[in-house]
A and B are shown apart, each in its own frame.
Chain A
Amino acid sequence: MSVKEFFKGNVFKCLIALLCVLLVSGIFLTVMNSLLYVTDEERFERAINKIYGKSVKTESVQVADYNSNATINEAYKIKDDGNYLVKSTGKGGFENGTVTCWVVVKVKGGKVSGVGKVVIDSNKSQSYISKISQSFLNSFESNPAADFYFTTADGYLTSGASMSSNAICNAVNGAVDFVNAQLGNLAEDIYADFMYVSNINTKLTSHEYNAETKEVVFHIATNSFGNAVQFSIDVTVGENGIISDYTITKNGSTGSYASQMLPSVLDGTLFEGKDIDGIMAILKDGADLGSIGSLNGSELITGATQSNYLCISAAAFAAANYQAVTELEQGGEENE
């Protein structure tokens, strides 16, 4: 085939047609791409707006952690209204998993004035996450807790997935703490230097000091552990650090595990009348409550060991820190 024939032949015509179509398509798409390209900022703004519910301008905020139960991943200050949008990962979910939420923290007059929208972003090993309903997430906004610290012990924050709910509460609390810290209002954690705090949610724990009887009533909120969610326990400690009353006000045992707890833990008789040494004597010699393994060999190993562990941790916290609390209170009086 000569060159001339090739240019007149069908093959050449086909090639030209195909190349023309390709060229026109390529040029058309390149033009369209430059016109319709979605920039990264636009994408980010879109994601934020979807969470926030309306179009807003944001400003990124440096993240830091102020709460041991949550990790702050990202945070933005909404320029329009001064609120904060915080992406926070709450610990203490099912099987020690986590739930990551976007939390809108409302700010008014330089103070946290409430929690707005809470949107679940992702989770780790929370198989019941689908049981978290929209009304559960809305209740953060509609039922603000005191100081905006939420706990699953509040009746309305319960769902079919108690472990995941706990992680979400932790995430929200972490976000509130973060914003408080940003605004310079973060309350000092008075229990931070206390003993046996590893299983205690110090943010949610409080105490009352009776100066006449020298009695201290601890309202202890524990962290969650394994399959047990937060316990709320009232412990009254008398002079000499001896526990005089031990009442579980909210049992964090999930499912049927509550019935498998040691009966004397459930009614508190195991701890009543004991000081810190007496409580440590429940464990085998040399165990220090540092981990759940320290319960090995004691009567606390039952079908609900994790719940027992949280309960004895609360008792140890109360008994061991009686002295510290009285010093704190008396120190406070002297200052006045």
Chain B
Amino acid sequence: MGTFIAIVLSAVLTNNFITVKTYGVCPFLGVSKKTSSAAGMGIAVTLVMLLATLVTYPIYTYVMVPLGIEFLEIIFFIFIIASLVQMLEKIIQKVSPSLYGAMGIYLPLITTNCAVLGVTELLIGDMSAILGEGVAMNIGWALLYALFAGLGFTLVMIIMSGMREKLNYYKTHKALAGFPIAMVTACFICMAFTVFSYISI
């Protein structure tokens, strides 16, 4: 139970992907002008993260490590993620056109989203700081972490889009319009999230 809470709190709050690790900033800045699209992107990223972990973690632990080809991890992982995204896009298009309309357009962008590759690389690395002493990493914890990291990502996306929607009501200086003001907004979100660093588990 302790490990469960530690993983959830760490993935969502204390080690949030955007505000602490700065993974996945491109979609965070690019697709956060409207809350609906931000939420769609967030859910799509969460889904891909979960699926990618489900595939990469077992392949790394049960195939690549025994064969001694860990050094090929980047090629394997990026290939797996790219094919997964392609497959997912095709499947969603076939099964549910309405869902495809809602998040299909974000899927191609996810291949080059560092949050997905980031989570898979993170999970095969040293996770002992989050898991706590004496807890071995396994596929269950990996999936849990991936799921909540994605949800943490979605949370920040939604907060950001809400603030940017409000920002539209104000006139900003020409030089500040667009990315600069979005980054200053992101700065405030990050500052708010530093509060969570006081959580100790």
* Binary per-residue interface labels of chain B (164-194) against chain A in the complex, 1 for a CB within 8 Å, 0 otherwise: 0000000000000000000000000000000
Cα of A12 to Cα of B200 in the assembled complex, Å: 56
Q: Which residues of A from 69 to 103 have beta carbons under 8 Å from B?
A: none
Q: Which residues of B from 60 to 85 have beta carbons under 8 Å from A?
A: 69, 71-72, 75
User: Residue of B at shortest CB range from A26?
Assistant: B72
* Binary per-residue interface labels of chain B (108-124) against chain A in the complex, 1 for a CB within 8 Å, 0 otherwise: 00000000000000000
Cα of A125 to Cα of B200 in the assembled complex, Å: 9
Cα of A125 to Cα of B201 in the assembled complex, Å: 10
| Contact residues in B for A33 (Cβ distance below 8 Å) | 71
User: Residue of A at shortest CB range from B79?
Assistant: A22
- Give min CB distance, A29 to chain B, whole Å: 6
Contact check, A29 vs B72: say whether CB atoms are below 8 A apart: yes
User: Residue of A at shortest CB range from B68?
Assistant: A33
A25 contacts the other chain (CB 8 A): yes
Cα of A29 to Cα of B74 in the assembled complex, Å: 11
| Contact residues in B for A26 (Cβ distance below 8 Å) | 72, 75
Cα of A216 to Cα of B71 in the assembled complex, Å: 69
- Give min CB distance, A31 to chain B, whole Å: 11
Contact check, B71 vs A29: say whether CB atoms are below 8 A apart: yes
Contact check, B75 vs A25: say whether CB atoms are below 8 A apart: yes
Query: Main SS of the interface on chain B?
Result: helix
Interchain Cβ contacts within 8 Å, total number: 11
User: Residue of A at shortest CB range from B71?
Assistant: A33
Q: Which residues of A from 23 to 45 have beta carbons under 8 Å from B?
A: 25-26, 29-30, 33
* Binary per-residue interface labels of chain A (243-270) against chain B in the complex, 1 for a CB within 8 Å, 0 otherwise: 0000000000000000000000000000
| Contact residues in A for B72 (Cβ distance below 8 Å) | 26, 29
Most buried by A among B69, B71, B75, B200: B71
| Contact residues in A for B69 (Cβ distance below 8 Å) | 30
| Contact residues in A for B200 (Cβ distance below 8 Å) | 125, 127
- Give min CB distance, B76 to chain A, whole Å: 10
| Contact residues in B for A125 (Cβ distance below 8 Å) | 200
- Give min CB distance, A20 to chain B, whole Å: 14
User: Residue of B at shortest CB range from A37?
Assistant: B71
Most buried by B among A25, A29, A125, A127: A29
Cα of A26 to Cα of B76 in the assembled complex, Å: 11
- Give min CB distance, B145 to chain A, whole Å: 22
- Give min CB distance, B191 to chain A, whole Å: 19
Cα of A201 to Cα of B82 in the assembled complex, Å: 62
User: Residue of A at shortest CB range from B70?
Assistant: A33
| Contact residues in B for A29 (Cβ distance below 8 Å) | 71-72, 75
Cα of A25 to Cα of B200 in the assembled complex, Å: 44
Cα of A22 to Cα of B200 in the assembled complex, Å: 45
User: Residue of B at shortest CB range from A127?
Assistant: B200
Q: Which residues of B from 123 to 141 have beta carbons under 8 Å from A?
A: none
User: Residue of A at shortest CB range from B198?
Assistant: A127
- Give min CB distance, A149 to chain B, whole Å: 31
Cα of A25 to Cα of B75 in the assembled complex, Å: 9
* Binary per-residue interface labels of chain A (209-225) against chain B in the complex, 1 for a CB within 8 Å, 0 otherwise: 00000000000000000
- Give min CB distance, A30 to chain B, whole Å: 8
Cα of A224 to Cα of B69 in the assembled complex, Å: 51
| Contact residues in B for A127 (Cβ distance below 8 Å) | 200
Q: Which residues of A from 1 to 60 have beta carbons under 8 Å from B?
A: 22, 25-26, 29-30, 33
- Give min CB distance, A38 to chain B, whole Å: 11
Cα of A65 to Cα of B72 in the assembled complex, Å: 44
User: Residue of B at shortest CB range from A32?
Assistant: B71
| Contact residues in B for A25 (Cβ distance below 8 Å) | 75
- Give min CB distance, B87 to chain A, whole Å: 17
User: Residue of B at shortest CB range from A25?
Assistant: B75
Cα of A107 to Cα of B62 in the assembled complex, Å: 48
Closest 5 CB pairs of A and B: A33-B71, A29-B71, A29-B72, A25-B75, A26-B72
Interface residues in chain B, defined as those with a beta carbon under 8 Å from any beta carbon in chain A: 69, 71-72, 75, 200
Q: List 11 A-B contacts (CB under 8 A).
A: A22-B75, A25-B75, A26-B72, A26-B75, A29-B71, A29-B72, A29-B75, A30-B69, A33-B71, A125-B200, A127-B200
Q: Apart from A30-B69, A125-B200, what 9 extra A-B contacts exist at CB < 8 Å?
A: A22-B75, A25-B75, A26-B72, A26-B75, A29-B71, A29-B72, A29-B75, A33-B71, A127-B200
